[in-house]
Amino acid sequence: MTYLAKPKFHHPALPKNALGYTHRDYEGAVSTLCAGCGHDSITGAIIQACFELSIEPHRVAKISGIGCSSKTPTYFLGNSHGFNSVHGRMPSVLTGANLANRDLIYLGVSGDGDSASIGLGQFAHCLRRGVNMVYVVENNGVYGLTKGQFSATADRGSKSKRGVINTDNSIDLVAMALQLGASFVARSFSGDKQQLVPIITAAIAHKGAAFIDVISPCVAFNNHAGSTKSFDFVREHNESVNRLDFISSRMPIEVKYEPGTIEVVEQHDGSKLALRKLAADYDIHDRTAALGFLQHHAAKGQIVTGLLYVEDEAEDLHGHLRTVDAPLNALSEKELCPGQAMLDNFNASLR
Amino acid sequence: MPTANPISSVNDFVVRFANVNGSGSASANEMFARAVMRMGIPVAPRNIFPSNIQGLPTWYEVRVSEAGHLGARGGTDLMVAMNPQTFDKDIAGIEPGGYLLYDSTKPLPASKFRPDITVIGIPLTAICNREYTDPRQRQLFKNIIYIGALTALLDMDAKVVEQLIGEQYKGKDKLIEPNVKALHIGRDYAILNLQCPIGLRLKKADKVGDRIFIEGNSAAALGAVYGGATVCAWYPITPSSSLADAFTRHCAKLRVDPETKKAKYAIIQAEDELASIGMVIGAGWNGARAFTATSGPGISLMQEFIGLAYFAEIPAVLFDVQRAGPSTGMPTRTQQCDILSCAYASHGDTKHVLLFPEDPAEAFDFGALAFDLADRLQTPIFVMLDLDIGMNHRLCRPLAWDDFKKYDRGKVMTAEELEAGKDFGRYLDVDGDGIPYRTYPGTHPSKGSFFTRGTSRDQYAKYTEEGGAYVDNMQRLLRKFDTAKDLVPRPLQANAGKLTKYGVIYFGSTAPAMDEAIHMIEARGHTLDRLRVRAFPFHSSVNSFVAGHDFVFVIEQNRDAQLRSLIVNECGIDPVRLVPILHYDGTPITARFIAKAIGDHLDKLKVKPMKVVS
Ligand SMILES: Cc1ncc(C[n+]2csc(CCOP(=O)(O)OP(=O)(O)O)c2C)c(N)n1
Ligand code: SF4
Ligand SMILES: [Mg+2]
């Protein structure tokens, strides 16, 4: 965590996007998370994705639950409205917000405790409904904010920092999202911006329920030997299906590989990543195959990452409900109130 | 000849139909009630139904009252006993001198009846078996046949019922003729075989006027349409489901764009009440008018979110159609038992605005008003209905709307104001009324955005755990609640003709019973001033009303005197000054109950009744 306030002035040399905004315009307050927390890398990826997409920063609504992960919306898009709601209930708040104004971009940020434990129900139902949103789970396998208890995504057999072995089966949110009908499903790793930024970019561009599970090691409580969500474990077991064409030049850790190849990359901390890419003919349009693929690799102890499924022409919740094109929150008395004349008819029918 | 004098009454009696749930009796019985209304006689029907789809006992009570008393009365003058399961109990409930209409197909021993009532047998099953072959028809037409018999027994004009049949089956015209035929089978049987009319008679009157006949839930839902609600999120629960259903129906008629056929509303049947209130809060945060409809168990589930909306100051409207608790309690019986759980919903220090409509007309008014209040006060507003108002047809004044009225969207800072450099602090009390300005998400590229959270923050919405800032904010919320006192509907006072030391406070669905009871209490020689409380926080007139009397009865339909506790707590009133009168067995409170409880109390205090001049 850094204690220096970010300078507000804009350096004239900062690159600008199509709308003339710099990277700075997409930043938020200074993070108060632990130094090295995976969540901060995801924040960085979100900022990068929004910058690259040239989104108007204030046209995004950031909504989260409770947890370290759910705090992160304060750290990006400082000119957007944000809503840090209650634990496990981001999806319902986001759904309601989306119904009120279909014209904004909805970015839901949650944790694995927030989505897979207390909020599993809402996670499931907002995906079923096809809410047009990007739903990011910053998945560290623990409750960071309450100091390291297992969450429901912790793998069976993994070891907590205190040495406790998890005996419960884990929930794979990606498999569930596929089953629940999410129209964009991906998994990535906070330490892999090369993969993550393009996935977020593609998810924002997607119209429908986009779900991204981002493995995000908790350096305070889940980055030790025996944890299956640690940096090392994930790097070693990452089974990437693909990579989208979206390479940014200013990444601190550069991980580059080609589809269908194995590449070993040495990090600046000296650790090695062994990343194998699936052949480029992985079919991102086959929901059933995606599920099989996931399970097949999970059985081998591999964590599949990449864009696993996308439905190009998905209909979103507003489509299901056939709501008007104008945002509901912009309708006035004239459009909403039927007036006394209609009431007279109604009264007459009740006598 | 019965041992008690048969009751003789014109336009003032209670008919009770005892049926089996799912036997198709409801629409026939309702038609009877409507026919009474069409004859110009005030009528108050009540459905007493089980938590069951088919097979359990159900009753439909029709109170006929030319004097216009619409509260439940208690007792039955004419029992239409169509359910063998409850036959004995039904007979026991008949007033001395009352009447029993039963299916005499199978002869019953005299011991099954009472000597003090008039027993009227019609071999309904035998008639149906003779007239119809289809078992479904036998069942359905049996209901119409007994209505036909009632038209003769009560001296009604059969034409009124015929016309109602015509209206009910408009568009399915094939059904009109057989129904009219069944009506006349019953009517003719009675005329030929029974002594018609009996002592109870219906005579055309002109006491209904322009009043309408509507269920509170439907009226409240229409209030939501008129009030500009665009988002409804709900989870099914009796007795509130019909409110969401009605909203869906009203919207399909009133809120579809005629050209594009697209909806100017969004209705979500959520996965549970946590999700429904979450959606309402999300929509309210984003500038839409949103509501949920629920009952006690749903309110319990929503607690955490309600606290968030209170603290983060987000408009939300909740219709709580109360039923008997605790837990699943008596899910199809009425009570006013969520007063405290709504007034103080959620953990920490919270207080919420409650509205108490007395009938469907007020449910419409308050249903619309709730959205203005929610936007103005930026907080959850509870519309406290109950099963008695919500699920029964009630005669009430016609619904009215002022076409010049503009919605009060409250303090919302616009892009222009922000651009002009107006200072925006989300939790800044600029006007001294405790209400800050808000902005809708997406308003301005660089100004007016803020972070909404349930954690403590300063006036500019920055996170803080500084005690002073927290206390300031909590105090401002109290100021805001104080502001609410003058925005919510005021209590209505009705003074006794003469000076009295005693008063009575009541609210919601108790109103018609109280209005009737006052005459009975006066007949016992006591006088009372009345105050009908219509909202919480309490207007200062509640304090002065209590202060102006030696003591005040507080009438409620719950066990723990919840409104009384709220008055004691919020108005700082000595509890001994407030005498609880409590009715909570799940049936609607009656005038008889109120008059007896208050009359006995005043008698016991040796209050000398003033001389009754006969
Ligand atoms: C109703 C409720 N129960 C418990 C908590 C305490 N709590 C806060 S955050 C949290 C877990 C967060 O875990 P996760 O979503 O994985 O976020 P992380 O901190 O790991 O990013 C819990 C249990 C709460 N805020 N609300
Ligand atoms: S506790 Fe874990 S999840 Fe929370 S900020 Fe620290 S590293 Fe991140
Ligand atoms: Mg976590």
Chain B window 450-489: which residues touch A at a Cβ cutoff of 8 Å? 450-455, 463
Task: Work out how many domains chain A is built from and give that number.
Answer: 1
| Mean pLDDT of chain B, nearest integer | 96
Report pLDDT for A264.
40
Interatomic CA distance for residues B340 and B607, integer angstroms? 33
pLDDT in tens, A125-145: 999 999 999 999 999 999 999
Confidence band for A266, pLDDT divided at 50, 70 and 90 = very low
What is the reported pLDDT for A5?
53
Q: What is the pLDDT of residues B120-129, one digit of tens each?
A: 999 999 999 9
For the cut 90, the answer to whether the pLDDT of residue B107 exceeds it is no
For residue A132, the enclosing domain spans 23-322
pLDDT at position A10 is 59
pLDDT tens digits for range A36-51: 999 999 999 999 999 9
Q: What is the pLDDT of residue A260?
A: 53
Quick check: is A350 in a domain? no
Q: Is B536 within 8 Å of chain A by CB?
A: no
* Cβ proximity of B21 and B58 under 8 Å: yes
pLDDT score of B2: 73
What b/e readout covers B256-288, taking b as 16+ CB neighbours within 10 angstroms?
beeeeeebbbbbbebbbbbbbbbbbbbbbbbbb
Measured in angstroms, the CA of A10 and the nearest CA of chain B are apart by 14
Q: How far is CA B575 from CA B500, B568, B580, in A?
A: 20, 6, 10
Interchain pair B285, A56: CB under 8 A: no
Domains along the sequence of chain B with CATH? 9-201 (3.40.920.10), 214-396 (3.40.50.970), 411-488 (no CATH), 492-604 (3.40.50.920)
Residue A327 lies in a domain: no
Q: Which residues of B179-213 are buried (b: 16+ CB within 10 A; e: fewer)?
A: bbebbbbbbebbeeebebbbbbbbeeeebbeebbb
Residue type (1 letter), B534: R
Distance CA B281, CA A92 (A): 9
Q: Atom 10 of ligand 1 has which residue's CA nearest to it?
A: A67
Neighboring chain A residues of B230 at a CB cutoff of 8 Å: 99-100, 328-329, 331, 336
pLDDT confidence bin for B270, thresholds 50/70/90: very high
| Residue B511, token pair as written in the block | 């109103």
| pLDDT band (50, 70, 90) for residue A14 | confident
Please write the tens of the pLDDT for every residue from A298-323.
888 889 999 899 888 889 999 999 99
* Res. B1 pLDDT band, cuts 50 70 90: low
**Percentage of residues in chain B with pLDDT exceeding 70?**
98
pLDDT of A267 over the 60 cut:
no
Does residue A138 line the site of ligand 1, with CB under 6 A?
Answer: yes
How confident is the model at residue A283, as a pLDDT? Answer: 80
Q: Is residue A333 part of a domain?
A: no
In this prediction, residue A6 has a pLDDT band, given cuts at 50, 70 and 90, of low
B318 has a pLDDT exceeding 90: yes
Average pLDDT (A258-283) is 44
- How much is the average pLDDT of B384-405? 97
Name the pairing type of β-strands B529-532 and A142-143: unpaired
Copy the structure tokens of residue B370: 């709730």
Identity of the residue in A122, A331, A343 whose CB atom sits nearest the CB atom of B264: A331
Question: How high is the ipTM of this complex?
Answer: 0.95
Q: Within a domain: residue A14?
A: no
**What pLDDT, on the 0 to 100 scale, is given for residue A183?**
94
Give me the residues paired with residue B214 across strands: B394
pLDDT at A312: 81
Are A84 and B441 in contact (CB < 8 Å)?
Answer: no
The closest of A83, A72, A66 to A34, measured between CA atoms, is A72
- φ, ψ at A174 (rounded to 5°): -70, -45
Q: In chain A, pLDDT over 70 holds for what percent of residues?
A: 85
How far, in Å, is the centroid of ligand 2 from the Cα of A70?
A: 11
What lies within 8 Å, CB to CB, of B475 at 6+ separation is: none
Q: What is the model's pLDDT at position B54?
A: 77
Any idea what the CATH number is for the domain that residue A190 is in? 3.40.50.970
Give A11's contacts (C-beta < 8 A, 6+ positions apart): A22
Beta pairing, strands B266-269 & B290-294: unpaired
Confidence at B23, pLDDT banded by 50, 70, 90? confident
Q: Within a domain: residue A2?
A: no
Question: The whole model's pTM is what?
Answer: 0.94
Q: Is the Cβ pair A79, B401 closer than 8 Å?
A: no
CA dist., res. B8 & res. B599, Å (int)? 27
* Cβ-count burial A12-39 (b if 16+ within 10 Å, e if not): eeeeebeeebbbbbbbbbebebbeebbb
Distance A109 CA to ligand 2 centre (A): 15
Q: Does B404 contact chain A (CB < 8 Å)?
A: no
Average pLDDT of the segment spanning B388-409: 97
Q: Could you report the per-residue pLDDT of B519-566, keeping only the tens digit for each? A: 999 999 999 999 999 999 999 999 999 999 999 999 999 999 999 999
B54 touching A (Cβ < 8 Å): no
Does the beta-carbon distance from A86 to B454 stay under 8 Å? yes
> Is A30 within the bounds of a domain?
yes
What is the residue-averaged pLDDT of chain A? 87
Q: Is the C-beta atom of A34 inside 6 A of ligand 2? A: yes
**Among B277, B451, B465, the residue to mutate for chain A (most A Cβ within 10 A):** B451
Helical (H) or strand (E) element with B238 = none
The answer to whether residues B265 and B271 touch, using CB atoms and an 8 Å cutoff, is no
Q: For residue B147, is pLDDT > 50?
A: yes
Report whether residue A105 contacts ligand 2, using a CB cutoff of 6 Å: no
Choice among A107-116, A126-135, A263-272 with the minimum mean pLDDT: A263-272
Rounded-to-integer distance, Cα B601 and Cα B581, Å? 10
Of the ranges A1-5, A286-290, B45-49, which one carries the lowest mean pLDDT score? A1-5
Between positions 237 and 266 of B, the ones with CB within 8 A of A are: 254-255, 257, 260-266
Report the pLDDT value the prediction gives residue A313, as an integer from 0 to 100.
81
pLDDT at A265: 34
Tell me which residue of B148, B157, B112 sits closest to B128, measured CA to CA: B148
Ligand nearest to the CA of A147: 2
Whether residue A166 is contained in a domain is answered as yes
Q: What is the reported pLDDT for B3? A: 80
Provide the pLDDT confidence category of residue B448 given band limits of 50, 70 and 90.
very high
**Is A328–B211 a contact, with Cβ atoms under 8 angstroms apart?**
no
Cβ atoms A224, A250 nearer than 8 A: no
Q: Retrieve residue B357's tokens.
A: 């409509």
**Does the beta carbon of A133 sit less than 6 angstroms from any atom of ligand 2?**
no
CA of A144 to the centre of ligand 1 (A): 8
Residue B422's SS3 state is: coil
Domain assignment present for residue A334? The answer is no
Mean of pLDDT values over B342-358: 98
d(CA A123, CA A327): 24
Three-state SS string over chain A comes to CCCCCCCCCCCCCCCECCCCCEHHHHECCCCCCCCCCHHHHHHHHHHHHHHHHCCCHHHEEEEECCCHHHHHHHHECCCCEEEECCCCCHHHHHHHHHHHCCCCEEEEEEEHHHHHHCCHHHHHHHHHHCCCEEEEEEECCEECCCCCEECCCCCCCCECCCCCECCCCCCCHHHHHHHHCCCEEEEEECCCHHHHHHHHHHHHHCCCEEEEEEECCECCCECCCCCCCCHHHHHHHEEECCCCCCCCCCCCCCCCCCCCCEEEEECCCCCEEEEEECCCCCCCCCHHHHHHHHHHHHHCCCEEEEEEEECCCCCCHHHHHCECCCCHHHCCHHHHCCHHHHHHHHHHCCC
Q: For residue B24, what pLDDT band results from cuts at 50, 70 and 90?
A: confident
Whether pLDDT at B570 is above 90: yes
CA-A111 nearest atom, ligand 2: 3
Looking at all shown ligands, the one closest to residue A117's CA atom is: 1
CB contact under 8 A, A335 and B264: yes
Of B259, B264, B269, B286, which to mutate for an interface test with A (greatest number of A Cβ within 10 Å)? B286
Task: List CB contacts (< 8 A) between A318 and chain B.
Answer: 266
Residue A190 Cβ inside 6 Å of ligand 1? The answer reads no
Window from A187-201, A207-221, A251-265, B271-285 with minimum mean pLDDT: A251-265
The answer, yes or no, to whether residue A165 has pLDDT greater than 50, is yes
Give me the torsion for CA of B299, B305, B311, B313, rounded to 10°: -90
| Confidence category of residue A241, pLDDT binned at 50, 70, 90 | confident
- Is B380:B207 a contact under the CB 8 Å cutoff? no
Q: How confident is the model at residue A273 (pLDDT cuts 50, 70, 90)?
A: very low
Taking an 8 Å cut-off on Cβ atoms, the answer to whether B263 and A103 are in contact is no
Amino acid B21: pLDDT: 86
| Bridge partners, residue B13, by sequence | B64
CA distance B225 to B227: 5
Using pLDDT thresholds of 50, 70 and 90, give the confidence band for residue A263: very low
Answer yes or no: is pLDDT of A248 > 50: no
Indicate yes or no: CB of B451 within 8 angstroms of CB of A347. Answer: no
